Structure 1
Amino acid sequence: MLSFHELHHQPAPLLLPNAWDIGSALAFAEAGFSAIGTTSFGVAARAGFPDGGRSTRDATFALARGLASLPVHVSCDIEDGYSDDPEAVAGFVAELGVAGVNVEDSSAEALIDPGAHAAKVAAIKRAAPGVFVNARVDTYWLGQEATVAATLDRARAYAEAGADGVFIPGATDPEDLRRFAAGIPVPVNVLAHPRLPVAELGALGIRRISTGSLPYRAALDAAAGVATGLRDGGLPPTATGYPEMQERLVRYHAGTYQVR
């Protein structure tokens, strides 16, 4: 199997689905994905919290440890690292035991100083040099300093600090994406977009595409649709059978899980 780093340097972009619990991660593994991310929104919502605010620290740590036995690469969304202290962030990452992390350059819905975020990136790379650090630039996501120039400045500072990739959620204009891919010296990651297929994003130079919280939100829509469909006189939809789902979990719990 290719390393997580190598998956970012293939002819086609890496499509990274984002799980929110063990069951969703197993479903993605069964679907043939060799790398799986986590979604802070899904992890927070599962526990009844809104996204952000450093609410997912313990749940993310527990999920990372729970996914460690799966035969896939795992990358965790760790919000802003759950601390302003670079060494505390680095220590947390070093204990996760995952192939990669996303760490964002905003806290409490506001951009932080890029030098402070670069310090977090550098500290993580010192403490866990093998972890793929995907430095998230939240300019477009938050609508703050949302220009190509400001975003490139931040991205290049993080790459210089040791980031292995840069994530720019919210950026969707094809020309902007082309400029980011050309101007950032590490693989660029964006969110999946309804008007930009994976192949088109790849042609623009994007090397990684994340689903973010989309699978979680779509799953809730589908669950509500099952119930309302039955209520309104419809028939149950087809789904993976209970025995197959149960058998996956039995193998996972026994520590013998392999993708079939």
Structure 2
Amino acid sequence: MIERRAAFHALHRAGRPLLLPNAWDHASAAALAARGYPAVGTTSLGVAATAGLPDGAAATAAETLALARRLARLPALLSVDVEAGFSDDPAEVAEYVAELAGLGVVGINLEDGRPDGTLAEPECVADKVAAVKAAVPDLFVNARTDTWWLPVADPLPQALARARTYRAAGADGIFVPGTVDGATLRVLAERIDAPVNALYQPGGPGLTELGGAGVARVSTGSLLFRAALGAALAVADAVRLGGPTTPAGLPSYAEVQTLVPTDGE
């Protein structure tokens, strides 16, 4: 397991970013692994919506753990989005993450946004990071700051300050979703002494451009889940209206069946 976690760390290279696609169930993760992606993340929105629960409200601890258990045998390194740790108690967060690590998870995302739309105190997040690193020292902790997603007047200084605090607590990477501005990402990459993770945005810069700004990891977040949902609605509407109903790249029944492990595997 130490080797797998070290391999995940090694995939984070500034300028040559890891593309981390985010899955929401076994089939999506298995399909991505079968396509050759070396690592797969989970998306908290997809996991929550699939279970009929709200995202970002600490409501999906059981569902997230159950999904990690199902994905543990896939031939890809697994990073799990644990929202804000599903608890305000650092010891409880560390215990939960240690259980994930015991299943084979190599990394987590831990965010500082709160359900009420405000940012948690950085020291509280740092305490969670420190507790997790004490419990599982070689796990990749990607500390996410939501300074661009929440109403912060001047997000860059706050992001840098929070990154320093989270790094001092032991965070291995810093996730800054909400900005794909090249100049901003360049500042973040230059001033944060850890791999910087950006969130891909449709219509925004691609992997090469983000790598040119110094980014070491690019996540798709909930994009793949929302795209799949949108495609399902488009097909349903096409059936109702009599239009074409076979989207490009549609997997066959047999292909989907191959994604399901047989008994004993």
Aligned equivalents of 2:178 and 2:223: distance in 1? 13
Per mean C-alpha deviation after superposition, the further-off stretch among 57-66 and 104-113 is: 104-113
Where does residue 251 of structure 2 map in the other structure? 240
Q: Contact between 2:14 and 2:195, CA under 8 Å: does it hold in 1?
A: no
Q: Contact between 2:68 and 2:80, CA under 8 Å: does it hold in 1?
A: yes
Aligned equivalents of 2:180 and 2:160: distance in 1? 15
> Identical aligned pairs, as a percentage?
50
2:219 aligned with 1:215:
no
Q: Contact between 1:76 and 1:102, CA under 8 Å: does it hold in 2?
A: yes
Change in Cα spacing, 1:171 to 1:60, as seen in structure 2 (3 Å) is: same
The residue matched to 1:243 in structure 2 has which SS? helix
Aligned equivalents of 1:72 and 1:189: distance in 2? 19
Aligned equivalents of 2:45 and 2:181: distance in 1? 24
The residue matched to 1:139 in structure 2 has which SS? coil
The Cα shift of 1:247 comes to 2.4
Q: Which structure 2 residues correspond to residues 72-83 of structure 1 after superposition, within 5 A?
A: 72-83=76-87
Where does residue 15 of structure 1 map in the other structure? 19
- Give the AA of the match of 1:216: F
Render the CA deviation track for 1:97-130: whole Å, top value 9, x for unaligned: 2100000012222111111111111110000112
Change in Cα spacing, 1:146 to 1:41, as seen in structure 2 (3 Å) is: farther
The residue matched to 1:36 in structure 2 has which SS? strand
Aligned equivalents of 2:255 and 2:78: distance in 1? 23
Per mean C-alpha deviation after superposition, the further-off stretch among 65-74 and 5-14 is: 5-14
Where does residue 224 of structure 1 map in the other structure? 233
The Cα shift of 1:255 comes to 4.9
- Give the AA of the match of 1:190: A
- Give the AA of the match of 1:79: E
The Cα shift of 1:236 comes to 2.9
Q: Contact between 1:192 and 1:210, CA under 8 Å: does it hold in 2?
A: yes
Render the CA deviation track for 1:27-69: whole Å, top value 9, x for unaligned: 1111111100000000010011221110111100101111111
Which structure 1 residue ranges, 4+ long, deviate > 2 Å from structure 2? 143-147, 253-256
Q: Contact between 2:113 and 2:119, CA under 8 Å: does it hold in 1?
A: yes
Change in Cα spacing, 1:228 to 1:92, as seen in structure 2 (3 Å) is: same
Where does residue 146 of structure 2 map in the other structure? 138
Where does residue 100 of structure 2 map in the other structure? 96
The Cα shift of 1:147 comes to 2.2
Q: Contact between 2:84 and 2:114, CA under 8 Å: does it hold in 1?
A: yes
2:26 aligned with 1:45:
no
Where does residue 183 of structure 2 map in the other structure? 175
Aligned equivalents of 1:11 and 1:161: distance in 2? 25
Structure 2 alignment gaps of length 5 or more: none
Where does residue 123 of structure 2 map in the other structure? 115
Q: How does the TM-score come out when normalised to structure 2?
A: 0.92
Where does residue 69 of structure 2 map in the other structure? 65
Aligned equivalents of 2:169 and 2:256: distance in 1? 43
Count of residues in correspondence between the two structures:
254
Q: How does the TM-score come out when normalised to structure 1?
A: 0.93
Q: Contact between 1:4 and 1:99, CA under 8 Å: does it hold in 2?
A: yes
Q: Contact between 1:57 and 1:78, CA under 8 Å: does it hold in 2?
A: yes
Render the CA deviation track for 1:144-170: whole Å, top value 9, x for unaligned: 254211110000111111101000111
Change in Cα spacing, 1:195 to 1:10, as seen in structure 2 (3 Å) is: closer
Aligned equivalents of 2:51 and 2:227: distance in 1? 18
Render the CA deviation track for 1:12-38: whole Å, top value 9, x for unaligned: 210001010001101111111110000
Q: Contact between 2:8 and 2:39, CA under 8 Å: does it hold in 1?
A: yes
